[in-house]
A and B are shown apart, each in its own frame.
Chain A
C-alpha cells in the first residue's frame, strides 16, 4: 500500500494524477498468481511498480545500500485506448528512482527518471517477446529463463549491475496477495514480494568498479483504487533477520496524528510461511530523530519495534543518517538500516530498509481526494 501512496507522491514532483478510476480494473479477491507471468506488467490496472532495495557488501568489507524502482502510471484506461497515429499518445507514464548508500564513506546518492516512452526509450515488457519486465532509459529489469533477475541502473556517477535469485518462495501479502487498503471494497492492491533475494554483481562508484554481494527485497504491486483520505504519510520497514525470517511493517499516519487502522505487516518464517500482522499486534516507537539541512524535515531514523505475539523486539538504527531523497517539491527518506534484538529470547541481528514519508511538508496527492 505504501508504495501506491509513494507513487502518487513522487509524481507530485511535477504534477498530480487524478483519481479517476473509470475504465480500470480493480484489485479483487481470487487473483491466481502465476510466475513468471505476474512479473510482467498488468496493463488493465492503473498503477504498478517493481521495487528493489538491498544491503550489499564488497570483498574488503565495505557496505552499500541501494534502491532501484520502476513505476508505471496508466493514463489511458483499457476502454480509452483508441488507435492513434501519434507515437506520443501513450497508455502510461514511466518513472523510477535510483539510490546508492556508501556506508563507510557515509555518502548517499540519488537520482530519478521520468519518461513518456514515445520512442520506446521506456516501457514494460510482456516477457514473451522481450525479456525485460521494465526499462527506463538505460535502467532495466530483465528476467532470465531460469527465473533469476538482472537489474541495471546508472546515472553517470554510479552504475549498479546485479543478478538476483530468490532464496524463498514469493510471498503473498494480505489475503492471498490481496492487500486491502481501506474498509471500502475495491480499495486494495495485488501485492507479492521476494523477501530474500540473493544478490551478486558490480557497483561502479566514481572510477572504481567494486564486486558486491548481499541480500535484496523485491516488491511487485498493481492496483487501481488505493488512496485513503486524511493520511499524512507513512513509515515502512523491511527487515531480513539472520535467523532466516523476514518482517515487513507499514504504519500509516493520519493528519490528526493517529495511526490508520489499515496499517499492517507480514512475518515470513524460515520455511516461507507468512503470518499477517494486524495493527494491534504491532508496537512501534521512534527513538531518534534526524533533521535534514536541506528540507528542515525531522525524520525518526531509529525505532523500537515490538511484536509481542511473535516475542519479537528489535532496535532499528541506521549507520548513515542522511539518506533523504531531497526532491522538489516532495522529499522523503529511504535508507538502509541495521537491526538488533531478540526473538523468543534469543539474540537476532539483521538489516533492511526504512522508508519515511510525509515529514517534509504535506504529501502531494494525498490530500486531493478528500
Chain B
C-alpha cells in the first residue's frame, strides 16, 4: 500500500470504524437523497418511455404518421404521393374490461397485409400458425399480449366482455402477441383487424392515423408537405413527435418532482458537512502531527474529502437499490397522475438505464464532496504548531453568528428577483431559482436564529437549568448546530410550503368546482373515468336524456386534440347554454359565452392564455378537415383541469368544420322537484344493456375530482415525509456526535453530582432547542416558499392562478411534532450519555 493510502487508512478508515453509527447515518443520508432522486427519475422515465413505447408499438417502423381523425379515403391518396413506399391505417380505442374492475385494453385496429411491413410484434396462435382467414372473418377477434393473457388467465379462444364508448361488446382471443424486433412494452396492447375494429367502434370510414414508410426516410420534408397538402387539417409528422409532445407536457410535472427530490439531497449535504466538520475539529491534533511530519496541506484536504467519499460510495449504492424499490411504489402514483392529467399510460415495468444511475452517483458523490469541501479546506489550513498546542482546539467552536444573516438577506433579494423574472418575461425554470434562494436564505438565517433562541433562553430565567445549560452549550458550538438547524429548517420549510401549496390548490379547486359544477347529473361512459377521455356516449343515450320530461336541459361535452397555430391544442366542444358557471378573468362571461354558443368566437382557459400569451381579442387558427378556421377569443376563464390549457368552442361551429357529432359526456339539469336519483336509475335501467356508464351527481363528481387531485399530490406527500425523515436523522446524528465528542465533559457533570437523568435531560434539552428553533425557522421560511410555489411556480409552469390559503392548524402543529420528533431522535444519544462510565471517561483527564 502506498504511504499516503496507509496514512488515509489509519486516519480515516479506523476513525470511521470506531464511529460506526455516525458513519451509518452519513451513509443513510446520502442513500436517502439518492434513492428519492433516483426513484422520481425512474418513475417519470418509466411513464414517458411507456407512453413512447405505446406509440412505437402502433407506429411500428413508420417514418411518418398522418394523425387525427383521418378520413380513410386519404389512404390510397397518401399511397400515391411520390416518395411514399408503403401506407397502412390504424384505428385506436380504449376498451374497458368489466370482468376485472380497472382493467382495460388499448384496442388497435391494424391492417394485417399492408401493416405487415410496419409491425414490430408478432401474432402467434398457440395451436398452429396464425390464421389470417379467421382473423379477417371473426367479428371482435383480438390478439392480446402473452403477458396480459397470463395475468388474466386467458388463452386462444377465450371470450371476454369489453366496453367501448359505453357499449358492451364481446371480444374473442384469436392470437397472442409476442415480442418481435422490440419487446412489447405495453401488456395492455391488443391488436384487431382494422375492419372489425371499425365495426366494433362504429367508426366505418375513419382511421386514427395513417402510418407511412418513405423511400428516403432521411429527407421527409417534401413528402410531409405533399401529404399535408392532400386535405385540409391533416397533421403529418414523425410518430416520435407524439411521444415528444407528451414528454414536453410531462416535463413541468417531472421537473417539480425532481426539484423536490433534490431537497432531500440538500439535507444530505448538510449532514456530510456536519460530520466532516466534527471529524476535523476532533482530530486537530492528529492533523497537526501529520502536517508536522511533512504531509502537504492538499493531502490533508484529500484525507477529509476521502472520508466524505467513504460515506458517499456506499450511500450511492444503497440509494440506487432503494431508489429502484421506491420507484416501484412511486410509479403507480405517477402513472395515475399522468393518466388523470395528460394521457393514458400503462407502466408495466420500470425503465432502468445506466444514465440514471450514473447521474445519481454523480449527484451523490458531488453532494458529499460539496458538503465536505469547507471542513476539508479548514483542515488543510491547520498550522502544526497551533494544533499541537493544547487548548487552541476550542477556538473554532467559539464562533458567532457573524455575517451569515447578511448573506441570508442577499439570498432573499435574489429570490425576489427570480420570482419577478419568472412572472414577467423570464423562463419558467427561474421560478425554481426563487424557491432555491428562499431555501438558501432560510439556511443562512439558521446561525442567527440559534443565537437568538439561546439568548432568549438565557434571558428567560424561568426555564429549568438543563435547558439553560443546553442553550449555553449550543451557542458555544454554534457552527455545527447551525448546520443541523439549517438542514432541519430547510426540510421543514419544504414541508410547510408543500402543505400550504396543496391546501391552497385544493381550496381553489374546490371553489372552482363549486362554481363550475352545477348540473344535477353528469353521465359518461365509465371508461372515461378510469382511462382518460377516450370513449363516446351512444347518440341514443344523448337523445334519451334530452327527451325526458324531467330534464330541463342536457348540455354535451367532448374534447379532442386539434392542430392550431399554437401547435396541437385541446379543443373542448360544448353544446347547450351558458349557466354562469365559469369564472372569467376580467370580463363578462355571459356575453363571451353567448358568442361561443352562436359560433362567432371561442374562449380559452387561463393556462392556455398564459402559455401562448394570448388575451381577449386575440385570434386562434385551427386546421380543420374543411380547411382553416380562424376564431376570435372572446374570454379567458380560470380552469384547473389541464395545465396545457384548452379552447372552448360551440358545437354548431365545430360541426360545421369537423364532421363528427359524438359526445363524451352529458350534464343534465333537472326541472324543480325531479329526483336526480330516480333520473339516474331510469337512465341506468334504459341503457344497462348498452354498456357501462357512470352517473355522477354534483357531489360525487366533486369528490371524484378531489380524489384525482389527492392522487396527484400523493407523490409530494411521500417526498415531504422523506425530507423530514432525513432532517430528523440529522438531529440524531448531531446529538450522537455531541455525546461521543463530549463524553469527558458529560462525565465531569456526572462527577460533579448531576444524575443520569440530568445528563440525558441535558441532551434532550439541546435537541429540543435545536428542533424548536429549526421548526420555527422552517415555518417562517415555509410560508414565503409556499408563496413562491403558489404565486410563481404554478402560474409560470402550469399557467393557473391559485389563491393562497393558509392551513393554520397544520402550521401550528408543525413545531410541536418536529419537537416531538427531535426528542425521539435524541432519545438514543441521551441514553448513551446517561450510561457513560464516569471513571473510564475521566481517565484521560
Q: What residues make up the interface of A, taking CB atoms closer than 8 Å to B?
A: 11-12, 14-18, 20, 73-77, 80, 84-90, 93, 114-116, 118-119, 121, 364-365, 368
List, in ascending order, chain B residues with CB within 8 A of A75's CB.
132-133, 136-137
Pairwise interchain contact A85-B199, C-beta atoms closer than 8 A: yes
Pairwise interchain contact B136-A93, C-beta atoms closer than 8 A: yes
Q: What residues make up the interface of B, taking CB atoms closer than 8 Å to A?
A: 72-73, 75-76, 111-114, 116, 128-137, 193-196, 198-199, 202, 204-205
Pairwise interchain contact B128-A368, C-beta atoms closer than 8 A: yes
Pairwise interchain contact A116-B113, C-beta atoms closer than 8 A: yes
With contact pairs A116-B113, A116-B114 given, residues A89 and B134 touching in the complex (Cβ less than 8 Å): no
Query: Considering the chains assembled together, what is the distance between the CA atoms of A221 and B196 in angstroms?
Result: 30
Pairwise interchain contact B75-A16, C-beta atoms closer than 8 A: no
Pairwise interchain contact B137-A80, C-beta atoms closer than 8 A: yes
Pairwise interchain contact A88-B195, C-beta atoms closer than 8 A: yes
With contact pairs A15-B131, A93-B132, A93-B136 given, residues A85 and B113 touching in the complex (Cβ less than 8 Å): no
With contact pairs A75-B137, A93-B132, A116-B113 given, residues A84 and B75 touching in the complex (Cβ less than 8 Å): no
Pairwise interchain contact B195-A118, C-beta atoms closer than 8 A: yes
Task: Give 18 A-B pairs besides A14-B132, A17-B133 with Cβ atoms closer than 8 angstroms.
Answer: A11-B132, A15-B132, A16-B129, A17-B132, A18-B131, A18-B134, A20-B134, A84-B199, A85-B202, A87-B72, A88-B111, A89-B198, A89-B199, A116-B114, A118-B111, A119-B76, A365-B129, A368-B129
Query: Considering the chains assembled together, what is the distance between the CA atoms of A74 and B136 in angstroms?
Result: 10
Query: Considering the chains assembled together, what is the distance between the CA atoms of A75 and B196 in angstroms?
Result: 13
* A interface SS class: loop
- Choose from B73, B129, B193 the contact partner of A88 (Cβ within 8 Å): B193
Pairwise interchain contact A114-B130, C-beta atoms closer than 8 A: no
List, in ascending order, chain A residues with CB within 8 A of B204's CB.
84-87
Centre residue among B131, B133, B136 by max chain A CB count within 10 A: B133
Query: Considering the chains assembled together, what is the distance between the CA atoms of A77 and B136 in angstroms?
Result: 11
Pairwise interchain contact B196-A93, C-beta atoms closer than 8 A: no
Pairwise interchain contact A93-B113, C-beta atoms closer than 8 A: yes
- Closest chain-B Cβ to A337's Cβ sits at a distance in Å of 33
Pairwise interchain contact A89-B131, C-beta atoms closer than 8 A: no
Write the chain A residue with the least CB distance to B206: A86
Pairwise interchain contact A90-B133, C-beta atoms closer than 8 A: no
List, in ascending order, chain A residues with CB within 8 A of B112's CB.
14-15
Query: Considering the chains assembled together, what is the distance between the CA atoms of A299 and B491 in angstroms?
Result: 79
Pairwise interchain contact B137-A15, C-beta atoms closer than 8 A: no
Query: Considering the chains assembled together, what is the distance between the CA atoms of A14 and B134 in angstroms?
Result: 14
| 6 contacting pairs across A/B (C-beta < 8 A) | A85-B204, A86-B198, A86-B199, A87-B72, A88-B194, A89-B196
List, in ascending order, chain A residues with CB within 8 A of B136's CB.
75-76, 89-90, 93
Query: Considering the chains assembled together, what is the distance between the CA atoms of A129 and B345 in angstroms?
Result: 51
List, in ascending order, chain B residues with CB within 8 A of A85's CB.
198-199, 202, 204-205
Query: Considering the chains assembled together, what is the distance between the CA atoms of A15 and B204 in angstroms?
Result: 26
List, in ascending order, chain A residues with CB within 8 A of B196's CB.
86, 89
Write the chain B residue with the least CB distance to A11: B132
- Closest chain-B Cβ to A98's Cβ sits at a distance in Å of 17
List, in ascending order, chain B residues with CB within 8 A of A87's CB.
72, 195, 204-205
Query: Considering the chains assembled together, what is the distance between the CA atoms of A12 and B129 in angstroms?
Result: 9
Write the chain B residue with the least CB distance to A114: B113
Query: Considering the chains assembled together, what is the distance between the CA atoms of A114 and B114 in angstroms?
Result: 8
Query: Considering the chains assembled together, what is the distance between the CA atoms of A116 and B109 in angstroms?
Result: 15
With contact pairs A15-B112, A114-B113 given, residues A88 and B198 touching in the complex (Cβ less than 8 Å): yes
Write the chain A residue with the least CB distance to B175: A15
- Closest chain-A Cβ to B170's Cβ sits at a distance in Å of 15
- Closest chain-A Cβ to B113's Cβ sits at a distance in Å of 5
- Closest chain-B Cβ to A112's Cβ sits at a distance in Å of 12
- Closest chain-A Cβ to B165's Cβ sits at a distance in Å of 15
Pairwise interchain contact B193-A15, C-beta atoms closer than 8 A: no
- Closest chain-A Cβ to B193's Cβ sits at a distance in Å of 7
Query: Considering the chains assembled together, what is the distance between the CA atoms of A278 and B133 in angstroms?
Result: 34
- Closest chain-B Cβ to A89's Cβ sits at a distance in Å of 4
With contact pairs A85-B199, A88-B111, A118-B195 given, residues A16 and B76 touching in the complex (Cβ less than 8 Å): no
- Choose from B129, B131, B195 the contact partner of A90 (Cβ within 8 Å): B195
List, in ascending order, chain A residues with CB within 8 A of B75's CB.
119
- Closest chain-B Cβ to A76's Cβ sits at a distance in Å of 5
Centre residue among B76, B137, B193, B204 by max chain A CB count within 10 A: B137
Query: Considering the chains assembled together, what is the distance between the CA atoms of A17 and B125 in angstroms?
Result: 12
List, in ascending order, chain B residues with CB within 8 A of A86's CB.
194-196, 198-199, 204-205
Write the chain A residue with the least CB distance to B131: A18
- Closest chain-B Cβ to A90's Cβ sits at a distance in Å of 7
Query: Considering the chains assembled together, what is the distance between the CA atoms of A75 and B204 in angstroms?
Result: 20
Query: Considering the chains assembled together, what is the distance between the CA atoms of A18 and B157 in angstroms?
Result: 15
Write the chain A residue with the least CB distance to B129: A16
List, in ascending order, chain A residues with CB within 8 A of B72's CB.
87
Pairwise interchain contact A16-B131, C-beta atoms closer than 8 A: yes
| Closest 10 A/B residue pairs (Cβ) | A88-B195, A85-B204, A86-B198, A89-B195, A16-B129, A18-B131, A75-B136, A15-B132, A17-B133, A86-B204
Write the chain B residue with the least CB distance to A18: B131
- Closest chain-B Cβ to A18's Cβ sits at a distance in Å of 4
Write the chain B residue with the least CB distance to A17: B133
Query: Considering the chains assembled together, what is the distance between the CA atoms of A60 and B205 in angstroms?
Result: 53
List, in ascending order, chain B residues with CB within 8 A of A15's CB.
112, 129-132, 135
Pairwise interchain contact A73-B133, C-beta atoms closer than 8 A: yes
Query: Considering the chains assembled together, what is the distance between the CA atoms of A90 and B73 in angstroms?
Result: 16
- Closest chain-B Cβ to A175's Cβ sits at a distance in Å of 29
Query: Considering the chains assembled together, what is the distance between the CA atoms of A77 and B76 in angstroms?
Result: 27
Write the chain A residue with the least CB distance to B77: A119
- Closest chain-A Cβ to B5's Cβ sits at a distance in Å of 62
Pairwise interchain contact A16-B113, C-beta atoms closer than 8 A: no
Query: Considering the chains assembled together, what is the distance between the CA atoms of A77 and B133 in angstroms?
Result: 10
List, in ascending order, chain A residues with CB within 8 A of B205's CB.
85-87
- Closest chain-A Cβ to B84's Cβ sits at a distance in Å of 14
Pairwise interchain contact B113-A14, C-beta atoms closer than 8 A: yes
Centre residue among A73, A89, A121, A365 by max chain B CB count within 10 A: A89
Query: Considering the chains assembled together, what is the distance between the CA atoms of A17 and B129 in angstroms?
Result: 8
List, in ascending order, chain A residues with CB within 8 A of B133's CB.
17-18, 20, 73-75
